[in-house]
Amino acid sequence: MSNMTSATSPIDQWEKEEYKYGFVTDIETDTLPPGLSEDVIRVISGKKQEPQWLLDWRLKAYRHWQTMTEPTWANIKYPPIDFQKIIYYSAPKLDKDRPKSLDEVDPKLLETYEKLGIPLEERAVLAGVAVDAVFDSISVATTFKEKLGELGIIFCSFSEAARDHSELVKKYLGSVVPYSDNFYATLNSAVFTDGSFVYIPKGVRCPMELSTYFRINAMSTGQFERTLIIADEASQVSYLEGCTAPMRDENQLHAAVVELIALDDASIKYSTIQNWYPGDKDGKGGIYNFVTKRGKCLGRRSHISWTQVETGSAITWKYPSCILQGDDSVGEFYSVALTNNYQQADTGTKMIHIGKNTKSTIISKGISAGHGQNTYRGGVKINKGADNARNYTQCDSMLIGDQCGAHTFPYIEVKNATAKMEHEATTSKIGEDQLFYCNQRGIGMEDAINMIVNGFCKEVFRELPMEFAVEAQKLLEVSLEGSVG
Amino acid sequence: MVGLKDISDTYRSHLARVEKSDAGDAFRWLHPLREAAFARFCELGFPSVRDEEWRFTNTAPIANTAFAPAPSGEGVDADQVAPFTLREPGAHRIVFVNGRFVPALSAAGSLPGGVILGGLCDAAREHRLIVEAHLGQYATIENHAFSALNTAMLEDGAFVYVPKGTVVDAPIHLLFLSVADAAPWVAHPRNLIVTETSSQATIVETYAALDGGVQFTNAVTEIVAGENTVIDHYRVGCESTEAFHVGALHLHLRRSSTLTSHSIIFGGALVRNDIHANLAEEDCECTLNGLYMIEGTQHVDNHLVIDHAKPHCRSWEYFKGILDGKSRGVFSGRINVHENAQKTDAKQTNMSLLLSDHAQVQSKPQLEIFADDVKCTHGATIGQLDDEAVFYLRSRGIKREDARSLLTFAFAGENLNKIRVASLRAQLEQHVRIKLSP
Amino acid sequence: MLEIRNLHVAVDGNEILKGVDLKVGAGEVHSLMGPNGSGKSTLAQVLAGRETYEVTDGEVLFNGKDLLDLSPDERACEGVFMAFQYPVEIPGVTTNYFLRAALNAIRKYRGEDELDAFDFIEFVKEKARVVAIDNSLLQRAVNDGFSGGEKKRNEIFQMAVLEPKLAILDETDSGLDIDALKIVAEGVNKLRAPDRAIILITHYQRLLNYIVPDAVHVLVDGRIAKSGGKELALELETDGYTKIAGQRAAVETEKV
């Protein structure tokens, strides 16, 4: 007589793969003691040799921040953060001033990026991708700078831009996300340390993908980077951001701000693959990812597209948004957010239609596994003057196992009768049923899970640049291993 | 303003007349239900806009009109009926004038053995067992004043019975014609359609007016889709633009049944279309399609409730409205997924096209889900014709008005194409074209 | 080909199959009928390897191998195919991709070369013709947004592509209109072959007007209550299951 193995799910037996970017780089750092004060801000600004106006702006933000309280509306749970225990500045100690070329960069740093799969040596760089690498608080290297410079494209660290392109920075910094915008954005405005700056001149189509890799290395450090991208009239750029951090038992804060500005006929495509350390399988450690990302379609017929694949972080709180100010402008948001183990994500977008004939598309795919909690929060606002505005929202949730949760909060505010709105939402469970169906056709367990999840995310993956779509797909597969049980 | 007391008195006199009529005699066994239904109606009264289910539809014009019972409508001849018949080979037709079955105008044709097609009043005598087993079992009198009133007043309507394993190939046409009278009148047609295991049938219910005038048709249709049946049902409303029509359709689906019901509404001053589908057993599939096209001050309210009571059932709702002038449209769609109805797959789509700045639509989707492994989708759009598309056609030399009609027809076409009875589809397409021609 | 001996199956401690014996030879078509809750679908699910069911006793031999020892995908690779009563939707995965993954998994298992995308499409178009399926179905996501009837036809199509040795059709006829029923029946008839066995699980006798089975079995309360030729189905149509259930009860009582 033979017996069938009963009731335990075959996915239970999957082995958990460890977070593979969790190593620590042992290098000498220049680190400020923990804590936040006006003096700390002055030191940060001083280290970066910033112009006076920027220091003043930071201080204004800091003073405003002190009057604010942490938001509590999001569907996430975490113990209170002690902002005085965070280190606001940590940088690899660089010989003398700054490296003039890659040869001067600490070999250990280069090694770190090699391990992450981001070679900084230009010849080894993925064909057609220029990289800016941000390590803790500062940008360590930007590749392909000269080549881009020939086209008039500025692609450099934010600190450098603040010194060398002060007028441009001054004109646009805070023009999309004001210093007073929200608790974390205001904190960022006061203490941001580095980030990327991009300016694409009129009529230029950026010939390669621009990319920034963010890495949190030092302990107890918060990372507060600031990215500003300006696409001048009729220009085009595609930008990719990737993130990793070492495995630590403590929670680290990442509060970034990204501002995008698209002028007439300009187009910006911003893709994120966020893989910050998510904490271990019991929910210990991991990054708190509280990010404000917003783009302004300032010009007519301008176009901003956000694509994000969020697999990391203990907590993700971000809503890449578009202000559709120019007539005929277009905003898009494509998102895959995956929460496994004890991860929590409250993410979505806001589309604010101001101009006439503006269009927005929202496609959100939430995947919850383990004890993960995934919330989609999306707002669509059609202002009074926004004649013929259109929005299409599709919001799908997938549950893997029965300990996780998916929540959907759509907010729609229409003040113009000519608006055309579509909304679709589904919640489904990838369960034994789908897997058994695949198995019954001869397809093994591992292939079946990947097939089902990738099918679910298809509409978002196809928005990513080719190389990254493959990376995103793999990342999802790795993140889902050991997902049920 | 007519008070509740006056309304009760008026309809009580109607009831007294019904009880004394031939129908009162045929339905003698129904007497207790009639009384209960009437009592319930008196309690409820006609709904007001304070009632959430009637928030956007004001029934005061019905409450405030003193309707007389429908006159017999004698003298209608075959020529008058002809324009409304289905030109479908072999179609089985029964005709009702002012709510009463008129055998002389009917042509049931040759039906497969065991199929019953005729008036409900006759069936109450000849097939009492079947009628008694189903009548009033699905249309509840509890919360719907109009259904309660219909149950109290019912005299006649269509009765269709399809026995086990029987396939009725040609469509069965239930044609309801109204003829005006000097005074406004009310009729309460009551239809009962019962299909047994593994049977298959197509049923077309048409409500049309031979002339103008104020009438109030308060119809109730109950359909039982037996196990493993495939039922295709159509309800077409082409009444006069002065008419009131409150129609309630109650669908009861048994195991592995597939039921599709199309609601097509063009006529009526005030139309309320209630559909309640009860997916009572496993593996049912229910499709509700709807299309309405109105203008002037017409008001159409489609009110759908789907109950997913058991696992593995599917429901699809696809409703479209085209509104011109100062017309008003209401769509309310509730999907109830009961606690053990796992693997439910429900999709609801409501699209409205506003051809004028003064037309208005209220769209209210509601999902109530008490099971955790389900797929429920709803989508709603309200919008005007795409200016870009109009411009594109004009740039190819098509006149503005023609471009608008063409695009509007395309919008309606998607639903018209779902109609599987070819002659009905052609008739309705023609109807839409005429409405769209300047 | 298939031999089921004294099969007992329980779900959450409730015994559903209470000793089923059934032999199906190569080339034969058997019809398994029975009222709701008699255990018909349970038997299909157990044969395909669904893990929510616990086999408490008995054995199942498939071409001499112990079927119960194999995982669901191994059984599929061995040639067991089940047409699901409720075919599952897999959004975003095209039928084409899905079937190629399945076919290649099976071919790999058998030590055959995998088919590339071009060879596969040729192969599959031929099969689509056999079961009168529109080629556009290949580009649609597996069962996603299909009507009940389309899903059932897709199951028959998959059966044609995967060419199983044993096909178990779990209520593939339920919910079909007469035309779709004929197409499904035709598909099944075309797939009858000397080296293939088919088990038709059905709730309604109607399917057997179009597929003539070699044997009919009636499952009542977890046991096969009666077996016979095709005339048994007609008998059921007139008398219903109650009579057989009654006979069975009588037999049981006699045994005691």
Highest mean predicted confidence (pLDDT) among A460-464, B358-362, B378-382, C27-31: C27-31
- Of the candidates B200, B256, B345, which has its C-beta nearest C174's C-beta? B256
Residue with more model confidence, C238 or A357: A357
| CB-CB neighbors (< 8 A) of C57 in chain A | 1
Express each pLDDT in B75-99 by its tens digit. Answer: 899 999 999 999 999 999 999 999 9
DSSP helix/strand/coil, B17: helix
The two three-digit tokens of residue B115, written as one number: 């199929």
Give the mean pLDDT of A99-125. Answer: 55
| CA distance, residue B229 to nearest chain A CA (Å) | 27
Query: Residue B377's closest chain C neighbor by CA?
Result: C145
Q: Identify the burial level of B43 via C-beta atoms within 10 angstroms of its C-beta, where 0-12 means exposed, 13-18 middle and 19 or more buried.
A: exposed
Inter-residue contact A264 to A233 (CB < 8 Å): yes
Instruction: Measure Cα distances from A481 to A454, B132, B318, C230 in Å.
Output: 14, 60, 39, 50
- What per-residue confidence (pLDDT) applies to B285? 96
**pLDDT recorded at residue A6:** 33
Other residues' Cβ atoms within 10 Å of the Cβ of residue C18: 16
Give A416's pLDDT tier (boundaries 50, 70, 90).
Answer: confident
In total, the C-beta contacts within 8 angstroms joining chain B to chain C are 47
Question: Which candidate from C69, C89, C101 shows the least CB-CB separation from A443?
Answer: C101
Q: For residue B124, what pLDDT band results from cuts at 50, 70 and 90?
A: very high
pLDDT classification of B267: cutoffs 50, 70, 90: very high
Quick check: C95 contacting A, CB < 8 Å? no
Average confidence (pLDDT) over A239-250: 68
The amino acid at C150: E
- Using CB atoms, list chains with 3+ pairs below 8 Å to chain C: A, B
The pLDDT confidence band at residue B363, using thresholds 50, 70 and 90, is: confident
pLDDT greater than 90 at residue A371: no
> CB distance from B375 to chain C under 8 Å?
yes
pLDDT digits (tens, 9 = 90+) for B153-193: 999 999 999 999 999 999 999 999 999 888 999 999 999 99
Residue B110 has pLDDT above 80, yes or no: yes
Whether residue A276 is predicted with pLDDT greater than 90 in this model: the reply is no
> What's the pLDDT score for residue B236?
97
Decide if C69 touches A, using CB distance below 8 A: yes
Res A270 pLDDT > 80: yes
Give B-chain residues touching C175 at CB under 8 angstroms.
228, 230, 256-258, 283, 285
Could you give the percent of chain B with pLDDT greater than 70? 98
Task: Express each pLDDT in A281-311 by its tens digit.
Answer: 777 777 888 889 999 999 999 999 999 888 8
Query: Looking at CA atoms only, how far is residue A381 from chain C in angstroms?
Result: 30
| Across A161-174, average pLDDT | 91
Confidence tier at C144 by pLDDT (50, 70, 90): confident
CA distance C119 to C133: 19
Query: Is 60 exceeded by the pLDDT of residue A140?
Result: no
Residue of C nearest to A8 (CA): C51
| Residue A49 forms contact with B (CB below 8 Å) | no
pLDDT beyond 80 at A19: no
Contacts of A420 in chain B (CB under 8 A): 381-384
| Interface check A388 vs B, CB under 8 A | yes
Give pTM, 2 decimals.
0.74
Going by pLDDT thresholds of 50, 70 and 90, the confidence category of residue A97 is: very low
A190 or A401, which is more confident?
A190
Q: How many CB pairs under 8 A join A and B?
A: 41
User: In terms of pLDDT, which residue wins out, C106 or B73?
Assistant: C106
What element of type H or E holds B124? helix B120-126
Q: Which residues of C touch B228 (CB under 8 A)?
A: 174-175, 203-204, 206
Chain C partners within 8 Å of A402 (Cβ): none
Is residue A149 pLDDT above 60, yes or no? yes
pLDDT at B68 over 90: yes
Name the closest residue on chain C to residue B230, using Cα atoms: C177
How far C52 CA sits from the closest chain A CA (Å)?
5
d(CA A180, CA A177): 8
Is A391:A357 a contact under the CB 8 Å cutoff? no
Taking contacts as CB-CB distances below 8 angstroms, the residues of chain B near C86 are: 283, 312, 343
Cβ A89 vs Cβ A44: under 8 Å? yes
Mean of the pLDDT values across residues C94-101? 91
Does the pLDDT value for residue A407 go beyond 60? yes
ipTM computed for the complex: 0.84
Chain-chain contact of A454 with C93 (C-beta, under 8 angstroms): yes
Q: Over C48-65, what HEC string results?
A: HCCCCCEEEEEEEEECCE
Residue B74 binned pLDDT confidence (cut-offs 50, 70, 90): confident
B-chain CB neighbours of C147 within 8 Å are 258, 285, 287, 314
Instruction: Check CB contact of C52 with chain A, cutoff 8 Å.
Output: yes
Write out chain B residues lying below 8 Å of C177, CB-based. Answer: 200, 230, 258
pLDDT at residue B393, as a whole number: 87
- CB within 8 Å: A402 and B381: no
Mutation for testing the C interface, residue in B256, B289, B313, B345 having most C CBs under 10 Å? B256
β-pairing verdict for C2-11 and C14-24: antiparallel
Interface test with C, best of A13, A437, A454, A458 (most C CBs within 10 A): A437
Q: Is the pLDDT of residue A1 over 60?
A: no
Average of per-residue pLDDT across A339-349: 84
pLDDT at residue A199 tops 60: yes
Residues of B within 8 A of C171 (CB-CB) are 256
Per-residue model confidence (pLDDT) at position A5? 32
- The residue-averaged pLDDT of B278-285 equals 96
Q: Which residue has the tokens 């680190």?
A: A31
Lowest mean pLDDT among A399-403, B220-224, B281-285: A399-403
Contact assignment for A427 to B374 by CB distance below 8 Å: yes
Average predicted confidence (pLDDT) for chain B: 92
In percent, how much of chain B has pLDDT > 90? 76
pLDDT in tens, A57-93: 999 999 999 898 888 777 778 888 888 888 887 776 6
Strands B92-97 and A154-157: unpaired
Per residue in C157-213, pLDDT (tens digit) is 999 999 999 999 999 999 899 988 998 899 899 999 999 999 999 988 889 999 999
CB contact under 8 A, B200 and C174: no
By CA distance, what is B374's nearest residue in C?
C89
Is residue B391 very low, low, confident or very high in pLDDT (cuts 50, 70, 90)? confident
Q: What's the pLDDT at A338?
A: 84
Crossing angle of helices B145-153 and B4-20, in 10° steps, is: 30
pLDDT confidence of residue B1: 43
pLDDT in the model for residue A20: 59
CB contact under 8 A, A418 and B383: yes
A421: which chain B residues are within 8 Å (Cβ-Cβ)?
380-383
What is the pLDDT of chain C when averaged over all its residues? 89
Residue B118 has pLDDT above 90, yes or no: yes
Order of strands across the sheet with C54-62? C14-24, C2-11, C54-62, C65-66
Minimal Cα–Cα distance from C203 to chain B, Å? 9
Contact: A4, C57; criterion CB under 8 Å: no
Q: Residue A237 above 70 pLDDT?
A: yes
**A126: pLDDT strictly greater than 50:** no
Contact with chain A for residue C92, Cβ under 8 A: yes
Q: Which residues of A touch C77 (CB under 8 A)?
A: 442
For C:171-200, CB contacts with A below 8 A are none
pLDDT at residue number B164: 94
Contact A455 C90 (CB under 8 A): yes
pLDDT at residue C250, as a whole number: 55
**Among A19-23, A65-69, A101-105, B323-327, whose mean pLDDT is lowest?**
A101-105
As a three-state string, the secondary structure of A326-372 is CCCCEEEEEEEEEECCCCEEEEEEEEEECCCCCEEEEEEEEEECCCC
pLDDT score recorded for residue A27: 61
Taking residues A405-431, report their average pLDDT.
73
Interface of A with B in 402-431 (CB under 8 A): 402, 417-429, 431
**Is C98 part of the contact surface with chain A (CB cutoff 8 Å)?**
yes
Q: What is the CA radius of gyration of chain C?
A: 18
Nearest chain B alpha carbon to A416: B383
Instruction: Fill in the DSSP letter of residue B139.
Output: S
List subunits contacting chain B, requiring 3 or more Cβ pairs under 8 Å: A, C
Q: What is the pLDDT of residue A35?
A: 83
List the single residue in A with minimal CA-CA distance to C5.
A1
Confidence class for position A40, pLDDT limits 50, 70, 90? confident
- Contacting chains of A (3 CB pairs or more, <8 Å) are B, C
Q: Do C52 and A7 touch (CB under 8 A)?
A: yes
List of chain A residues whose C-beta atoms are within 8 Å of the C-beta of residue B383: 390, 418-421
Interface of A with C (CB under 8 A): 1-10, 432-434, 436-445, 447, 451-452, 454-459
Q: Could you write out the three-class secondary structure of A121-145?
A: CHHHCCCCEEEEEEECCEEEEECCH
Share of chain A above pLDDT 70, in %: 77
Q: A7: pLDDT confidence band, cut at 50, 70 and 90?
A: very low
